[in-house]
Amino acid sequence: MEKLNKPTVTICTDRFRSVAEMASRSLGMPGLPVVFVPHPLAGLKAAEVQGKADAVLDQIIQALKGK
């Protein structure tokens, strides 16, 4: 989508930071916006996941705005 000039942001847990960075470089997009949430997400209750999402919402919005 980024290559089609559509703003995107990848969201993943911080445990996979190096994988996300390597993948974006290998795709020729080293500046691809990525927002990291604390690992893990699996096994959490919905409210706990919502809390992690709320904590990074501003980062996601800024990434989509290109800031």
Mean per-residue pLDDT over the chain, rounded: 94
- Half-sphere exposure for 2 (CA within 13 Å, toward CB): 16
- Assign 1 a pLDDT band (cuts: 50, 70, 90): confident
pTM: 0.87
- DSSP annotation string for 12-58: EEGGGHHHHHHHHHHTT-TT--EEEEPSP-TT--HHHHHHHHHHHHH
Share of the chain above pLDDT 90, in %: 84
